[in-house]
Structure formats: C-alpha cells, structure tokens
Amino acid sequence: MASTPSHSSFDEKRQREAFKDQALQVDSAAERWLVRKLDFRLLPCLVLAHLFTFIDRSSAGNAKVAGLSTELHLGNWGFNIGTCLYYVFYIAFEIPAVMLVRRFGNRLVPLAVVAFGVVTIGTGFTHTKGDFYAVKCLLGMFEAFVLPGNSYIITQFYKRSELSVRIGFFILSAGYLSGAFGGLLATGFLHIAPMGPVHTWRHIFVWEGVITAGLGGILYFLYPTSLKTTSMLTEEERKLTSVRLGALPGEPISVANKFPSWIQLKEVLFNPLVLAPAFFYLINNITVTGTFIFTPTILALNYPDASPFRIQLLSVPPNVCAWGFSVGLVYIAMRYNKHAVTALIGALFTVAGYGTWLATDATFIQTRYTCLFLNTIGGCYGPIILAWTVSNAHSDTARALTAAAVSGIGSIGSIVGSWSYFPTDAKTGYHIGNTLNVSLAVVVSVGIAALWLLEFRANRRERTKDGTKDGNVDVGFRYVL
C-alpha cells in the first residue's frame, strides 16, 4: 500500500513554493547593491586574513636564503622537514577547524590569525632545529582555520553562482600578493639594524608576526558573525540575503550549528565528485608549494652572483603579473560559468612553463625567468577547482565539509611539494622537481576535461528528465560548470 504524504511534507512544499515566489520578487537593484556591499565590506577582511598568514608562511623561503638554515643548523633536509610538519598539522586540523568555526562562530578565524602572528614572532627567537620544527607545527594548526573557514563564510552570504570569483579572489590575492609583498617586506626587514637577539632573517619573522597579530585583532571586530546577527548588514539586507541564498530549501535552522553526523561526513568524503577535484587540488598544491617556497632558492641558483636583496626583489614581478591575470581568469569562470575551461587553461600554463624550463639549460637565464611567470600563473587553477566544487555542494553542511575536505586533501600536495626540490638536485637545475610538476599538470589537464564532461552529461540528463514531466523545465539540481 502506498504511503500517504504527511501534513508536514505538504506544509514544507507550500513553504518552498512561497519561497520561490518571494525569490522571484527580489528587487534587482537592491540585490546588486547588496552584492556590491558584500564585495567591499566582507571580501577585504577575508583577503587580509589569508594574505598575512600566507606572507608569514612563505617568509620561511625568504629567510632561508638570508641565513636561517645555516644559523639553525638545519642541514640539507631540515628546512624540508619543517615545511612538511607544517602541512601535516595543517591537514590534520582543517576539518575540525572549519567545524569549530561553524559551531562557535566566524570570529574564530581572526582569533586564529592573532595566534598565527604570535607564533610567527616566536619563530624569530628560535635557536635549534627542534625549535624550528615546533613553531612550524603550531603555525600549521592555526592556519588550518583560515582558508577553509573563509571559504565557508563566503557560502553564508553569496549565491552558488557567485562563489567562484569570491573564493578565487581571496585565495589568489593572498597567494600571489604574499609572494610580491613578502619579497618586498623581506628586503626591507633585512636592512634593519640588529636589535639585541633579533637580526637579519629574524627581523622577517618578528615584524611580520607583529603586523599579522595586530591585523587579526582589528579583524576580530570587522568579521561578520552569523547572517542572523551580523551588524555588517541591516535587517532588510539580512532578509534579502536569506531570500537570495534559498534558506528554506537548505537545512533546518535547528541543525545549523551541530557537528555533522557520520552519514553526512561519508556522503562528502566518499563522493567521487569531491574526491576527484580534491586530487586536482592536491596536484595544484604540489606546484604552488614548490613555486612559493622555493622561488628564492631557484632564483639564487639562476643568479648566483645576486645579493639576497636582489633575489627578494626578483620574486616580486612574477607574482604581481600572475595575480592580475589569474583574477581575470577567475572572473571569467564565475561570469560565464566556465570553471572547467579556465581551470584547464591554468593547468596548461603549468605544462608550458615547466616544459619550457626542462627544454632549456642554465645559459637561458631570461627564458627560465619567463617560465617562472608561466608557472606562477598556472597555480590559479587550484582556487577555481575549490570554488567549482563548493558551488556544487547541496547543503550548508555539505558546503562546509566540502571546503574543508578539498583543501584538506589537497594540502597533502603541499607535503609533496615541500620535498619536490632537493638541495642535492640543484646541480641539474632541479630536474626532478620540474619533471614532477610538468607530468602532474598533464594528468590534471586530462582529469579536468573528464570531470567537465561527466557533469555536463549529468546536467543534460536532468534537463531531459525535467522537460518530460508536466512540461516543467529547469527544476532539478544543476552542476555549476
């Protein structure tokens, strides 16, 4: 005997229909104003938080060429081990961190920025290999709150179709601008006269840590709380945001602050459409980590007569150029729903950059410097992959878990990337690391094309199914492509 629908299901259906009618009546001018306000009020906070933690992360590479490895007696492998430990702790704490943000509020992110800055200051007072390893573990733990936390916060205020360019903007801005500003800041700090035990490379950590901790304290008061309580928006703007996001079709408010069940975790962590992008993001992190951390080392190899100050300055132009190009690419991904195409373009830049590097030798210094531009630009496909995957999550819990899972699994690539450039391989022009990166870029290019085809065919099947049912079209779930 067929079961009879309950009154609650009928009530929910009527509520959903009423919600759709309300969504159709949204004032387009008010909506544009709201999105513009969020872009100029919310995004700068997220960019600054991620930017300065990323600067502090990449400053280790600048400090390395300024004497860190020698003074701490790290030997050939100590720097790589410390970087590896950083990412191990980052990965281990990512999912718990984003769940804590979801449970206790968005302002845990700026508090983590303060803690990150304090530990960075402590890095300037390390004296042994063990000290260096300890601070790297703490830095990884605190930074685990920032990227997945910010990615989740964006989903609280923007529609699915708007996520890509916003997530991509703050991640790319942090990554590339940290490479640019990190080099400039390092150059400036290295010119500061010794101040007691603080000198040379120690200045980089101490002063960057002071700036980061102070910034985190300011951001604590600027970060939004939940959509229902934030003072960033007026009451009317909060209501409009709820309508735009489709609050009713998501999860009940009663479960919004609860930790996810095992079933919810399994639905995300064992979903092939999450695992495949996470693998692409993992490959991207191998390349990005190698690029950002070891760029000063690679430049020192290509320009053996250059001073540490010139090496820091040479790292600036590729990052500035890559930032402008990549933000434009991310905008195209959002504006025209071309995530797969733009991510593929980024991966192909990586193939071109590392492929050209391998085809030249050390005498082609300017050609290899140009390859650094291509390699840095190629890193943009990672944020596009992350935004693409989060945009296709079905619920609030799924979005939070997806953001953490993709960035968490992807961060395993950072561990690999921290070992992709061996000191003993310098005499070959780092042939091993460059071959690894070009090979993996080819693999991810094929994978992106396959994922796009899979989701495109799924959308086509859904359109066919909906079009044959009561003449209604476009009522089912659609993948953002």
Can you tell me which residue has the tokens 């040379």?
A: 200
Most confident of 261-270, 286-295, 429-438: 429-438
* Cα 377–chain centre separation: 15
Res 417 pLDDT > 90: no
Stretch 343-360: mean pLDDT:
88
Residues pairing with 195 in the sheet: 198
Report DSSP letters for 266-303, one per residue.
HHHHT-HHHHHHHHHHHHHHHHHHHHHHHHHHHHHHH-
**Residue 31 pLDDT grade (very low, low, confident, very high; cuts 50, 70, 90):** confident
**Residue 477 pLDDT grade (very low, low, confident, very high; cuts 50, 70, 90):** low
**Whole-number pLDDT of residue 106:** 92
- Within 8 A by CB and 6+ apart from 438, the residues are 350, 351, 354, 355, 358
Six token digits for residue 268: 């995300």
**Whole-number pLDDT of residue 443:** 94
Res 469 pLDDT > 90: no
pTM listed for this prediction: 0.71
Res 219 pLDDT > 90: yes
Amino acid, res. 389: T
Stretch 99-114: mean pLDDT:
92
Res 397 pLDDT > 80: no
Neighbour tally for 385: CB within 10 Å = 31
Res 354 pLDDT > 80: yes
What kind of fold does domain 29-244+258-467 have according to CATH?
Growth Hormone; Chain: A; (1.20.1250)
Phi and psi dihedrals of 379, rounded to 5?
A: -65, -10
Whether the Cβ atoms of residue 130 and residue 353 lie closer than 8 Å to each other: no
**Whole-number pLDDT of residue 205:** 92
**Whole-number pLDDT of residue 8:** 40
Residues pairing with 198 in the sheet: 195
Cα–Cα distance for residue pair 358/361, rounded to 1 Å: 7
Neighbour tally for 362: CB within 10 Å = 12
**Whole-number pLDDT of residue 252:** 39
Phi and psi dihedrals of 4, rounded to 5?
A: -95, 130
Stretch 98-120: mean pLDDT:
92
**Whole-number pLDDT of residue 7:** 43
Res 285 pLDDT > 60: yes
Out of 32-41, 116-125, 154-163, least confident range? 154-163
Stretch 4-29: mean pLDDT:
50
Whether the Cβ atoms of residue 374 and residue 349 lie closer than 8 Å to each other: yes
Res 18 pLDDT > 60: no
Res 442 pLDDT > 90: yes
Out of 73-87, 375-389, 443-457, least confident range? 375-389
| 376 HSE (CA, 13 A, CB side) | 30
| pLDDT: which is higher, 160 or 74 | 74
Residues 172-216: tens digit of each pLDDT: 666 677 767 777 787 788 888 889 888 888 999 999 999 999 999
Whether the Cβ atoms of residue 25 and residue 244 lie closer than 8 Å to each other: no
Res 377 pLDDT > 90: no
Cα–Cα distance for residue pair 431/452, rounded to 1 Å: 32
Q: What CA–CA distances, in Å, run from 157 to 38, 42, 95, 99, 171?
A: 8, 9, 21, 18, 17
Res 256 pLDDT > 50: no
Whether the Cβ atoms of residue 455 and residue 477 lie closer than 8 Å to each other: no
**Whole-number pLDDT of residue 258:** 52
Helices (H) then strands (E): counts for the chain: 21, 0
| pLDDT: which is higher, 446 or 272 | 446
